[in-house]
C-alpha cells in the first residue's frame, strides 16, 4: 500500500466571500453588481423573497409564488360578487352564467339573437366558446344551474364555487403561464436579475384591479390579457406568426384587445420594413392573421348553415319576414333573404352589431376618462351621436399616433410594454364606449415595465409610477365595487399591494431613488402626494357626508375628475419613457450602454 504523497498542495489565498458572491451573481444572472451590496431589502415584497436572492433559477421560488397568489385569489372570491342579491338584473356574474346557459341550451345560430334584453351575448366568438365549455362542465355537476329561463338570478352557493373555479382555472391555464414566460424572457433580454424578475412577477400577479374585477366582482378579463402577454412572449422569441395567432385569440375573446391592436400592428409592420424590406415576413403574418380569424368564426358559420338545414332560424317565435339587417339596413335592397348565403351574412352582421354597440352612446356609466370628465362642464348628450363618434375618433388617433409612430420607426422588443401602455391609455381616455374595467388594459403593460432592468432598481422611479397608476386605477373602480358591497375586499387588496411594494399610504420609499436629482424626486413625490391625499380625503367624504339632494352623483363625479387627471399623467409618463428608451432624442443620463442594451434584441 502506497504511503502518503510527499507533495504538498500550494496554499491558495482565500478570496473574500463578497468577491465570490459577486462573481457568481454576475455569471449566473441572479443579482446585478449593485444588488449585491444592498444590505437590507428596499420594500416588504423584497423582504419576503430576500432568502431567494441568491438563487440561480426562478423555478426555486416559482411554486411558492403560484401557491400564494392562488390562495389569495380564492380567499378574495369568498366575498360577494357583481349582482349578488341585486335584482332585477343581478350584474355581471349573472351575465357570465347566462351565457353558459344559452350556449349550451340553444342552437349556435341563436346565440347572438336570444333575448337581448336579458344579458344578450355581446362578446366575440371565443368568449362564447369558453362559455359553452364551462357550461358543459357545470351541467355535469348540476344541470339546474343552466336551465333555460328558470335559472335566472340563481344564487346557489355551490354554483358560486363552480363559477369562481372557472375563473381561476382559466387564469392558471392562460394568463399565469403567459406571464411567467414573458417575465423570464423580458428580464433576460433587458439584463435584469432573476431575483428582480421574481419580485416583478409577484407584483404583476397581485395587481389589485385585476383581482378585484376578475375574482371578486367577477369577469374573465385575464384570459384576454393572457393571450396578449402570450403575443408579447412570442415576439420576444422571434415567433412573429405565432404572435399574430395569439393576438387574434385575444381579439376573439374580448374586443377590448383592440386597445393594443395599433401597437402590435406598428411593431409587426416595423420589423417587416426595418432594417430592410422583408415582404415574405409581411405576407406570412398577414396570411396567418386572416387564417386565424377565419378559424375563429368558422364554427359560427358552419353552425348557422347546419341550423338552416334543420329548419332552425335565428329568430325563434317570430313569424313573417325577419327583421332588417343590423348596422346596414340598406343592404336589404341588395340581398335576397331566400338566398343560401343570407343567414351567414345576417349572423356575422348581428355579431358585429352586438360586439360594437355604437347605438349606446359615447358612454353609459361614469368612468374616469376624458369624455365623462368633460361632460361635467359641457353636457355632451345634447350633441348628435355622429359628431361625438367623430370627436372620439379624432382625439383617440391624436393620442395613439405618437407612441405607435415611435414603435414603427424603432421596432425594438424592449419598447413594447411602454408602447402598449401609452396606446391603451390613449384609448381609455378618448375612445368610444369605455367601461370602468377597461382600465385593466393600460395597467397590464404598464405593470409589465417592472420586469425590465430599471423596473425595481433602487435608482429608478418606475415603482412609484407603476404603483401610482395601479392604486389610482383601483380607486376609480370603487364606486362600481361599492354598489355591490365590495368595499372591504377593495381596501384589503389595495392596501396589501401598496404595503408589499412600499407605496403610499404605507411607505414613501419608492419616491427617493438613488442617482436622481432632488428636484425630480421631490417633484414626483409632491405630484403623486396631491393625488394620494385627494383619494384619501374623497374616501372620508364619501363615507360620512351625503351629497346634495339635487346632485346625488357628486362624489362619483369628483372621482371621475381626479382619476382622469391622474390617468393623463400616466399616459404622458409612459409616452416619455417610450421616447427615452427609443433613443430618438438625446436625453441626459441615457448612456451608450443603455442604448446598446436596447438594440440587442432588435
155 in a structural domain: yes
The residue range of the domain holding 427 is 370-582
Residue pLDDT, tens place only, 214-249: 999 999 999 999 999 999 999 999 999 999 999 999
Reduced 3-state DSSP string for 289-304: HHHHHHHHHHHHHHHH
Residue pLDDT, tens place only, 106-121: 999 999 999 888 999 9
180 in a structural domain: no
Spatial CA neighbour of 511 closest among 525, 498, 492: 525
318 in a structural domain: no
| Residue 143 three-state SS | helix
For the record, the C-alpha cell of 84 comes out as: 349578488
Other CB atoms closer than 10 Å to residue 196's CB: what's the count?
A: 27
* 332-336, 371-375, 489-493: least confidently modelled range: 332-336
314 in a structural domain: no
**Cα–Cα dist 68/202, whole Å:** 9
61 in a structural domain: no
Mean pLDDT score across all residues of the chain: 87
| Residue 590 three-state SS | coil
Give me the pLDDT at residue 328, please. Answer: 63
Give me the pLDDT at residue 366, please. Answer: 82
Q: What is the pTM of this model?
A: 0.89
39 in a structural domain: no
pLDDT at 385 over 90: no
In sign, the C-alpha dihedral spanning 58, 60, 63, 68 is negative
Other CB atoms closer than 10 Å to residue 111's CB: what's the count?
A: 25
Spatial CA neighbour of 362 closest among 387, 334, 338: 387
The pair phi, psi for residue 545, each rounded to 5°, is -120, 125
58 in a structural domain: no
First to last CA, the chain: 65
Angle made by CA atoms 158, 163, 166, in degrees to the nearest 5: 130
Query: Among 135, 160, 185, where does a domain finish?
Result: 160
Residue pLDDT, tens place only, 560-597: 999 999 999 999 999 999 999 998 876 544 444 444 44
Total domains in the fold of the chain: 2
pLDDT at 28 over 80: no
Query: Among 110, 125, 160, where does a domain finish?
Result: 160
512 in a structural domain: yes
The pair phi, psi for residue 339, each rounded to 5°, is -70, 155
Query: Among 108, 126, 160, where does a domain finish?
Result: 160
Amino acid at each position: 500500500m502506497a504511503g502518503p504523497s510527499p507533495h504538498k498542495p500550494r496554499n491558495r489565498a482565500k478570496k473574500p466571500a463578497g468577491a465570490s458572491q459577486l462573481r457568481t451573481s454576475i455569471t449566473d444572472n441572479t443579482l446585478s453588481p449593485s444588488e449585491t451590496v444592498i444590505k437590507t431589502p428596499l420594500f416588504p415584497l423584497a423582504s419576503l423573497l430576500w432568502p431567494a436572492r441568491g438563487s440561480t433559477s426562478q423555478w426555486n421560488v416559482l411554486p411558492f409564488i403560484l401557491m400564494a397568489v392562488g390562495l389569495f385569489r380564492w380567499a378574495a372570491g369568498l366575498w360577494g360578487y357583481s349582482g349578488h342579491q341585486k335584482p332585477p338584473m343581478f350584474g355581471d356574474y349573472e351575465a357570465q352564467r347566462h351565457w353558459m346557459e344559452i350556449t349550451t341550451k340553444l342552437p349556435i345560430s341563436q346565440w347572438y339573437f336570444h333575448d337581448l334584453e336579458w344579458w344578450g351575448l355581446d362578446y366575440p366568438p371565443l368568449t362564447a366558446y369558453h362559455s359553452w365549455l364551462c357550461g358543459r362542465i357545470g351541467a355535469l355537476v348540476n344541470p339546474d344551474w343552466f336551465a333555460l329561463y328558470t335559472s335566472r338570478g340563481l344564487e346557489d352557493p355551490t354554483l358560486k364555487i363552480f363559477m369562481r373555479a372557472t375563473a381561476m382555472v382559466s387564469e392558471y391555464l392562460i394568463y399565469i403561464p403567459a406571464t411567467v414566460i414573458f417575465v423570464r424572457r423580458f428580464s433576460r433580454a433587458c439584463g435584469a436579475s432573476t431575483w428582480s424578475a421574481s419580485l416583478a412577477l409577484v407584483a404583476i400577479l397581485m395587481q389589485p384591479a385585476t383581482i378585484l374585477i376578475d375574482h371578486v366582482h367577477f369577469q374573465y378579463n385575464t384570459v384576454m390579457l393572457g393571450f396578449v402577454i402570450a403575443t408579447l412572449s412570442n415576439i420576444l422569441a422571434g415567433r412573429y406568426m405565432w404572435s399574430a395567432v395569439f393576438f387574434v385569440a385575444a381579439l376573439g375573446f374580448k374586443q377590448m384587445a383592440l386597445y393594443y391592436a395599433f401597437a402590435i400592428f406598428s411593431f409587426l409592420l416595423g420589423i417587416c420594413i426595418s432594417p430592410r424590406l422583408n415582404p415574405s415576413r409581411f405576407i406570412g403574418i398577414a396570411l396567418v392573421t386572416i387564417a386565424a380569424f377565419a378559424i375563429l368564426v368558422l364554427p359560427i358559420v358552419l353552425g348557422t348553415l347546419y341550423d338552416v338545414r334543420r329548419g332552425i332560424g335565428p329568430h325563434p317565435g317570430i313569424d313573417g319576414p325577419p327583421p332588417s339587417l343590423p348596422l346596414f339596413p340598406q343592404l336589404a335592397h341588395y340581398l335576397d333573404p331566400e338566398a343560401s348565403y343570407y343567414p351567414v351574412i345576417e349572423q356575422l352582421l348581428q355579431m358585429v352589431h352586438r360586439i360594437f354597440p355604437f347605438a349606446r352612446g359615447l358612454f353609459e356609466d361614469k368612468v374616469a376618462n376624458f369624455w365623462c370628465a368633460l361632460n361635467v362642464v359641457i353636457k355632451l348628450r345634447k350633441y348628435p351621436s355622429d359628431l361625438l363618434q367623430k370627436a372620439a375618433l379624432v382625439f383617440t388617433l391624436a393620442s395613439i399616433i405618437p407612441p405607435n409612430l415611435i414603435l414603427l420607426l424603432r421596432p425594438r422588443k424592449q419598447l413594447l410594454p411602454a408602447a402598449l401602455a401609452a396606446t391603451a391609455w390613449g384609448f381609455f381616455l378618448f375612445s368610444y364606449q369605455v367601461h370602468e374595467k377597461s382600465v385593466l388594459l393600460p395597467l397590464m403593460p404598464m405593470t409589465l415595465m417592472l420586469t425590465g432592468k430599471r423596473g425595481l432598481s433602487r435608482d429608478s422611479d418606475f415603482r412609484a409610477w407603476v404603483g401610482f397608476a395601479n392604486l389610482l386605477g383601483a380607486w376609480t373602480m370603487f364606486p362600481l365595487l361599492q354598489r355591490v358591497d365590495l368595499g372591504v375586499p377593495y381596501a384589503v387588496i389595495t392596501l396589501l399591494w401598496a404595503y408589499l411594494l412600499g407605496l403610499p399610504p404605507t411607505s414613501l420609499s419608492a419616491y427617493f431613488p438613488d442617482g436622481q436629482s432632488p428636484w425630480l424626486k421631490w417633484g414626483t413625490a409632491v405630484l403623486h402626494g396631491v393625488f394620494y391625499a385627494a383619494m384619501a380625503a374623497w374616501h372620508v367624504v364619501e363615507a360620512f357626508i351625503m351629497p346634495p339632494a339635487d346632485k346625488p352623483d357628486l362624489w362619483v363625479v369628483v372621482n371621475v375628475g381626479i382619476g382622469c387627471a391622474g390617468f393623463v399623467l400616466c399616459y404622458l409618463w409612459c409616452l416619455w419613457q417610450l421616447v427615452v428608451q427609443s433613443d430618438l432624442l438625446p436625453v441626459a443620463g441615457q448612456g451608450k450602454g443603455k442604448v446598446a442594451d436596447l438594440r440587442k434584441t432588435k
